[in-house]
């Protein structure tokens, strides 16, 4: 729901009834993952998409029905080839979709005839979140196995859980022990920016069938892309980084090459010694496991001290531009400076995937493709092959992502 909430802001403010359909389970080959949502309002307006067209028609009708009846429902969509006009996923995957009606005029959980009776939603809080920037940290927690509409809104994941947060979870779970157990799991997911489902057992029961299922959607601040070196390749990479949702910083020690006009896509442009700037950012706790560092200076006097520091950090990616000869010279200099083999193995150099890239724009695609491939494979890096040459599932079998 987080992915479309901003589009629902006018509906929340205007008291327009709407329903949200959210993927809560995805197996096999599916276009979108857990947490992806589509919303339909009373006037038939649509926000978002679940499958790119395969099941949208059926989901639309289910949302309209949920608006009228005020009932929460689950829909199951699988593969069907018996009827060319049957609703299903032609890609062979399976989706479970939660459909919840929202009636903004029914504030503070008040029952409304023909509406979302028993809803446990802090609508003012949900509206406040809808008005925030789409990349601001937040979380939404909803119960999957109840008949009531639920939505616990977390406006500041860093402060979760507090007493108020546990209290709101207790209202959703109906059990304080289950709320505390859920809060512990949710806090870990919020810290890591994960989206997925959890199950907790009420009354501290370890075994049994009466589990409470919760969908947790989390959004962190955008990950950072630190680009060192002011040149045409950096400008193209900054543009690609922004398209992928990164907060882009361009840093170079040469003031005459580092101007806002040359790098309009960068969020921040810094004139500083690269290694010193990176050290300052580390000390300020602005570098983390989602940070990508691209060294495009192609100058040993900048590259070596910068990489000496970058390769010791728990970041997501470190890459450096240069030929294989440059890479060999760079590696020798880093070894002489005391870098260990396991640290040097973290360096992606020459930078990027082998796409035959030549122009700055093509090289930027090559670099960002390598970043995305490494990010989605987490730390288990594997060579990238064309999908046409592979077999098996296209998408990883998981209900969560490392960041959103």
Neighbours of 73 (CB within 10 A): 17
3-class secondary structure, 26: strand
What's the pLDDT score for residue 257?
92
Largest Cα–Cα distance in the chain? 76
Q: What pLDDT does 108 receive?
A: 44
Quote the pLDDT of residue 208.
Answer: 54
> Beta-strand (E) ranges in 127-228?
138-143, 150-154, 196-200, 212-219, 224-228
Between β-strands 196-200 and 212-219, what pairing exists: parallel, antiparallel or unpaired? antiparallel
For the CA atoms of 338, 339, 340, 342, what is the dihedral angle to 10 degrees?
180
Question: What pLDDT, on a 0 to 100 scale, did the predictor assign at position 29?
Answer: 60
What are the chain's domains? 5-219 (no CATH), 224-385 (3.40.50.720)
Chain-centre distance of CA 265, in angstroms? 21
| Cα–Cα distance measured from residue 285 to residue 97, given in angstroms and rounded to the nearest whole number | 38
Identify the CA nearest to 48 among candidates 62, 32, 68: 32
pTM: 0.69
Strands 120-121 and 150-154: parallel
Q: Where are the alpha helices (DSSP H) in 211-359?
A: 232-243, 274-283, 300-310, 324-336, 341-344
Give 269's strand partners.
250
The whole-angstrom distance between residue 177's C-alpha and the CA centroid of its chain comes to 30
Q: From residue 202, how far is each of 96, 185, 252, 368, 383 by CA, in Å?
A: 24, 14, 56, 45, 45
Antiparallel, parallel or unpaired: β 138-143 and 150-154 = antiparallel
Q: Quick one: which of 357, 289, 293, 282 has its CA closest to 319?
A: 293
Q: What are phi and psi of 108, to 5 degrees?
A: 55, 35
By three-state DSSP, how is residue 319 classified? strand
According to the model, what pLDDT value does residue 338 have? 94
Residue 127: Cβ-neighbour burial (10 angstroms; 0-12, 13-18, 19+): middle
Q: How many residues does the chain have?
A: 404
How confident is the prediction along the chain (404 residues), in pLDDT tens digits per residue?
898 999 999 999 999 999 999 999 877 666 678 889 999 999 999 999 887 666 888 899 999 999 998 888 888 887 554 443 344 445 556 788 999 999 886 444 433 333 444 567 888 889 999 999 888 899 999 998 877 778 899 998 888 887 777 888 888 888 888 888 899 889 888 887 888 899 887 765 555 557 888 999 998 888 999 999 999 999 999 999 999 989 999 999 999 999 899 999 999 999 999 999 999 999 999 999 899 999 999 889 999 999 999 999 999 999 999 988 999 999 999 999 999 999 999 999 999 998 889 999 999 999 999 998 887 764 445 566 666 666 665 554 444 333 33
| Burial class of 337 by CB neighbour count within 10 A (0 to 12, 13 to 18, 19+) | exposed
- Identify the H or E element spanning 87: none
Structure token pair of residue 284: 């300020």
């Amino acid at each position: 729901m987080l992915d479309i909430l901003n589009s629902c802001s006018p509906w929340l403010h205007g008291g327009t009834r709407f329903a949200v359909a959210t993927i809560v389970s995805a197996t096999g080959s599916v276009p979108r993952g857990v947490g992806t949502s589509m919303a339909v309002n009373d006037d038939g307006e649509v926000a978002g998409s679940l499958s790119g067209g395969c099941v949208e028609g059926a989901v639309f009708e289910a949302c309209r029905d949920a608006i009228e009846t005020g009932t929460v429902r689950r829909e199951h969509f699988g593969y069907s080839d018996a009827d060319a006009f049957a609703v299903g996923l032609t890609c062979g995957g399976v989706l479970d979709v939660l459909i919840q009606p929202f009636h903004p005029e029914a504030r503070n959980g008040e029952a409304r005839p023909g509406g979302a009776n028993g809803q446990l939603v802090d609508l003012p809080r949900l509206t406040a979140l809808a008005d925030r920037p789409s990349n601001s940290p937040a979380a939404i927690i909803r119960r999957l196995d109840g008949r009531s509409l639920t939505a616990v809104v977390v406006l500041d994941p860093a402060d979760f859980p507090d007493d108020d947060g546990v209290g709101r979870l207790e209202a959703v779970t109906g059990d304080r022990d289950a709320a505390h157990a859920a809060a512990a799991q949710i806090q870990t997911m919020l810290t890591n920016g994960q989206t997925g489902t959890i199950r907790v057992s009420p009354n501290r029961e370890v075994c049994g069938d009466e589990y409470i299922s919760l969908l947790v959607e989390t959004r962190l601040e955008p990950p950072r892309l630190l680009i060192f070196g002011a040149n045409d390749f950096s400008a193209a990479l900054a543009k690609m980084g922004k398209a992928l949702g990164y907060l882009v910083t361009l840093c170079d020690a040469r003031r005459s090459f580092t101007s806002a006009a040359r790098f309009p896509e960068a969020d921040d442009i810094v004139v500083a010694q690269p290694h010193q700037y990176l050290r300052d950012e580390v000390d300020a706790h602005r570098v983390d496991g989602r940070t990508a560092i691209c060294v495009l200076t192609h100058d040993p006097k900048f590259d070596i001290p910068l990489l000496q520091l970058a390769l010791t950090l728990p970041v997501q990616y470190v890459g450096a531009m240069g030929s294989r000869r440059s890479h060999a010279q760079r590696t020798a200099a880093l070894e002489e400076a005391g870098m260990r083999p396991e640290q040097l193995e973290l360096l992606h150099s020459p930078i990027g995937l082998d796409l035959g890239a030549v122009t700055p724009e093509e090289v930027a695609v090559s670099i960002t493709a390598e970043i995305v491939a490494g990010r989605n494979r987490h730390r288990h890096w594997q060579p990238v092959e064309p999908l046409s040459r592979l077999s098996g599932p296209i998408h990883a079998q998981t209900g969560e992502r490392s960041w959103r």
